[in-house]
Amino acid sequence: MSKVILQIDGNNFYASCEQLVDPSIKGKGLVVLSNNDGCIVARNSEARKMGIPMGQPYFKLKNKLTQLNINVRSSNYELYGDISNRLMQLLRKNCEELEIYSIDEAFGTIKRPKEKCLYKWGKNLRTLVYQNIGIPISIGIGETKVLSKISNYLAKKTQNNSGIFDIGIIENKDPYLNLVKVDQVWGIGKRMSIWLKSKGITNARELRDMSSNQIKGKYGVVGLRILNELKGILCIPINETSSDRKEISVSRSFSDPIDSLEELNQAIIKYVLIASSKLRKYNQLSSAITVFTNTNIHSKDFYKSKATGEINIPTSDSRTIIKTSLELTQKIFKPYRKLTKAGVILHKLERNKYKQNLLFNSEFIREGLYQERLNHLIDQINNRNGRDTISWGSSIIENEWSPRREKASLIKTTNMESIPKIYAN
C-alpha cells in the first residue's frame, strides 16, 4: 500500500470559529477584522457572495456592511488558537504523520487501502471533526504536497466534491489541472507567476509540461521541485518537527495615539510578557531584544525609532527581558510625538537545553531555578484560565491605549467564566 499526502484545512477558519461560539450568526454574512478593528481579514461564504472584498479598511465598508446586515467581529486570537490546537490534536490521531503548516492548515500522510478509494475515510474524518470541534474542513489528497494543495482547492471549488477531492486516483489529471491558475499553485509567488505568464504558462497543467531546464535555469531547485511535484514525484516530504524560530515578534497598533513614556512602558512590558511566554512554549532562550515604535506614517512629523540591547546570558525569564526592554524604551521615546504603534522582537534565539549558567555562582543558579518555576507557574495559570489571569504589576495599570476590539465575541473557550451556563429546572 502506497502512502498519500493529505492537505487538510479549516474552511473560513476565523469565521467558522466565531460561528461555533455564536450559532445565531450561522447562515448569515460575517466578516472578521484585523488588530485594532482595521481591515477585513476573514469572511464567511455568505459575505463573499455579497461581494465583500478581503483586506479592505473597515471604515470604508462600514455602511455597506450595515445595509447588507452583515455581522462584524473583532479578531479573537485566543479563541482561534484554542480551536486550532484541538483540530491539530484530532488530526494527529487520524494521520500517520502530521505537519502543522499554519493555524488552520496541516499536511498529513496515510496509506492508501487496497481498493484505493479514500473518500469514505475522508467523509468520516470531516464528520468526526465537525462533531467534536464544530468547524467544517476540506481534504485534498494527492501523491505530493503540491498535488494535495490543488486537490484541496478543487474540493472547495466544486460543490459536488463535498469538501473532499482525491486527484491521486485520477489517471488523466489534465482537465483538473487546467482549472487551477498558475498563481494558485502552492509555491508560486508573485514574481514567479509574472515570469511564467510571460512565457505563456497560465495554469497548473501548462506548468507541469514546461521544460525542466527552462524553470531550473530561472528558479533553480525551488522551481524544479514544484514542477516535479506536479508530475507526482515527491520532492517536499512531510516535516513533523517544526524548525526552531529565528525570532519572536509581538507588536500592536494603539486604539488612540499615546505620547507619554509611562504608557509606552506599559505597552512594551505587555508585549514582552507575551513574547517571553512564547519563548518558554517553544523551549527557547533569547540573548537580544529590539523595541520599536512609530507615529502615523501619513503624519507630517512622522517619527520612528528602534533600539537593540544584548542580554548577557540567554534567557526566557520575563523579569530579565522586561528590565532590558525598559532601558531600550527610554532611548526610543521622544516627547510630544503621537505614537500609534510599538513592538518588541526577541532574537538570537537558541534551544534551552544549551542554557548557560555561571559556573561558580550557586546563588545565581538557585535564583534562576526559582524564577524559572515562577514563570512556568504563571504560564500554566494563564493557559488554563486565560491570558492576564495573573501578570506582573507593571502591566496591569489601566490602559486606554489597548488595541480597539469593539466587536469581540464574548466567549473564550479557554476561560471557564466566559462559557455560557445552562440551568435545568
Give dist(CA 20, CA 134) in Å, integer.
6
Q: Where in the chain is the domain with CATH 3.30.70.270?
A: 1-170
Hey, how many other C-beta atoms are within 10 angstroms of the C-beta on 91? 20
SS3 content of the chain, % helix, strand, coil (to 5): 45, 20, 35
Q: How confident is the model at residue 359 (pLDDT cuts 50, 70, 90)?
A: low
Give dist(CA 399, CA 258) in Å, integer.
10
SS3 (DSSP) at 286: strand
Give dist(CA 392, CA 369) in Å, integer.
18
Residue 243 has pLDDT above 80, yes or no: no
Q: Where in the chain is the domain with CATH 3.30.1490.100?
A: 248-395
Give dist(CA 230, CA 233) in Å, integer.
7
C-alpha cell at 111: 496509506
Q: Among 1-10, 150-159, 245-254, 411-420, which stretch is predicted with the lowest mean pLDDT?
A: 411-420
User: Which CATH architecture fits 1-170?
Assistant: 2-Layer Sandwich (3.30)
pLDDT average, residue stretch 352-378? 67
CATH homologous superfamily, domain 248-395: DNA polymerase, Y-family, little finger domain (3.30.1490.100)
Please tell me the CATH code under which domain 171-243 is placed: 1.10.150.20
Nearest to 283 by CA among 225, 355, 333: 355
Number of H helices, E strands in the chain: 13, 12
- Residues with Cβ within 8 Å of residue 17, at least 6 apart in sequence: 76, 79, 80, 83, 135
Q: Write down the pTM of the prediction.
A: 0.76
Scored b (16 or more CB within 10 A) or e, 186-225 reads: bbbeeebbebbeeeebebbbebbebeeeebeeebeeebbb
Q: Where in the chain is the domain with CATH 1.10.150.20?
A: 171-243
Total residue count of the chain as it appears in this document: 425
Q: What φ, ψ does residue 8 adopt, rounded to 5°?
A: -120, 130
Q: What φ, ψ does residue 142 adopt, rounded to 5°?
A: -165, 180
pLDDT tens digits for 19-45?
998 888 988 999 999 887 889 999 999
- Residues 321, 269: contact at Cβ < 8 Å? no
pLDDT tens digits for 98-136?
999 999 999 999 999 888 889 999 999 999 999 999 999
pLDDT tens digits for 12-26?
999 999 999 888 898
Q: Please tell me which of 35-49, 156-170, 174-188 the model is most confident about, judged by mean pLDDT.
A: 174-188
Q: How confident is the model at residue 1 (pLDDT cuts 50, 70, 90)?
A: low
Q: By percentage, how much of the chain surpasses pLDDT 90?
A: 59
Looking at 75-231, which runs of residues are DSSP E strands? 97-102, 105-111, 137-142, 164-166
Q: What is the rounded average pLDDT for all residues in the chain? A: 87
∠ CA 8-28-179, rounded to 5°: 40
Residue 208 has pLDDT above 60, yes or no: yes
Q: By percentage, how much of the chain surpasses pLDDT 70?
A: 86
pLDDT average, residue stretch 199-225? 93
